[in-house]
Amino acid sequence: MDECALVRSDSFEITTSSGKIPPAENAAADLPKPKVGKLIKAGLYVEYSF
């Protein structure tokens, strides 16, 4: 498991035109730090660039 990371789409707050949606209870977490590349939280998705 040292070479993978789990990113849950319900673990961070999202902003929509009708307001903000909080993270799911017990799912809130910071994005993991990948060994290569970077994770970028944007809108309704997480982008992985390497």
Mean of pLDDT values over 6-14: 74
Domain positions in the chain are 14-49
pTM: 0.47
- Beta carbons of 32 and 7 less than 8 angstroms apart: yes
Burial (CB count within 10 angstroms: exposed 0-12, middle 13-18, buried 19+), residue 31: middle
Mean of pLDDT values over 5-33: 75
DSSP 7-24: --TTSS-EEETTEEEPPP
**pLDDT of 23-38, one tens digit each?**
777 665 677 788 888 8
Q: 4 or 32, which is more confident? A: 32
Q: Which two tokens stand for residue 30?
A: 């910071």
